[in-house]
Structure 1
Amino acid sequence: MPDEFALGPDPDHPGWMRWELREKGRYNSTLGPMSVMQRADGTVVVRTVPGHLQGNLADNVHGGAILTQVDISMFVCARLNGSLREGPGVTLDLSTHFVGAGKVGVPMDCEVEIIKETGRMLFLRGLVKQQGISICAYTGTIRKMPGRKIGARSGSPS
């Protein structure tokens, strides 16, 4: 796993790992700490606890916060399953269906699995749940960008 990410036991959640971006000033940090678990079948669960910052004016989780968690979760899944070993990837598409409201202060689990992998593409799907109830279903595609170091800009040396 690239040095940009820290993965270790989550002291607050036995059996889970804590996933963090080492560089705290990035957008990925807006969700707060993420706990991750990889099931035997390769499915990855990424848990956050949405707070006031992720809430909308109705005191539900803002759809943008849910989309952020979904996008990050797809990349966590790709890395934990070894599909993105080096270099970054980009989200090519993300299709979501909101089927319920997320509640602020309630753990939100993003379950994600790889349904197909090719040389340059990953096709994923999943559900976002709170207390076992689905609030969002999604599919997405990641394009792997091999040979580039994460954080390197186009045209700059690696």
Structure 2
Amino acid sequence: MSESKFRHEPDPENPGWMIWEIREEERFNQILGPFRVRKESETTARCRIWPQRIHSNLADAVHGGVVMSFVDISLFAGSRMLGIQHAGRSVTLDLTCQFMAPGMLGKPLDAEVEILRETGRLVFLRGLVVQEEVKVAAFSGTIRKASPPR
């Protein structure tokens, strides 16, 4: 993905966090609102969103589809923070999610992403979606990195 379409830079309002966003307003990622990421160790990164009413289901909790979308984008944001460069054509091969508790509106929702292994074309990851002390979901996924340009 060209750098002109993508923004990944320090967040001046949240020291230690990086902005992660696609600049084009009509792309799907924009539905999650502000998205931030930071490195926590050599193998883990933390991604964050701030759920609002648009992210809710009829129970006024975070919709499961929002959680899954957050996890999917977190696979890429988290692994990039850990040094894996992705082209815009990398894809999610699989994503498994186990929901454990509802996410609440108005409180930061975090995805703790861990790289388990990287090969020439694949990245294997796992993690937890947490909100304060509550484990909202567990996940695992695989990214297929884009082919090098020819």
Q: TM-score under structure 2 normalisation? A: 0.91
Q: How many residues matched?
A: 149
Do the aligned residues in 2 keep the contact of 1:87 with 1:146 (CA within 8 Å)?
Answer: no
Moved beyond 6 Å, runs of 4+: none
Do the aligned residues in 1 keep the contact of 2:110 with 2:129 (CA within 8 Å)?
Answer: yes
Q: Percent identity?
A: 46
Do the aligned residues in 2 keep the contact of 1:94 with 1:138 (CA within 8 Å)?
Answer: yes
Q: Distance in 2 between matches of 1:80 and 1:35?
A: 11
Amino acid aligned to 1:33: P
Cα RMSD (Å): 1.8
Change beyond 3 A, Cα 1:15–1:87: closer
For structure 2, the 5+ residue unaligned runs are none
CA shift for structure 1 position 30: 0.5
Match of residue 154 from structure 1: none
Match of residue 92 from structure 2: 91
Do the aligned residues in 1 keep the contact of 2:125 with 2:140 (CA within 8 Å)?
Answer: yes
Q: Distance in 2 between matches of 1:85 and 1:101?
A: 31
Q: Distance in 2 between matches of 1:15 and 1:80?
A: 12
Q: TM-score under structure 1 normalisation? A: 0.87
For structure 1, the 5+ residue unaligned runs are 149-157
Match of residue 146 from structure 1: 147
Change beyond 3 A, Cα 1:87–1:27: closer
CA shift for structure 1 position 35: 1.5
Amino acid aligned to 1:112: V
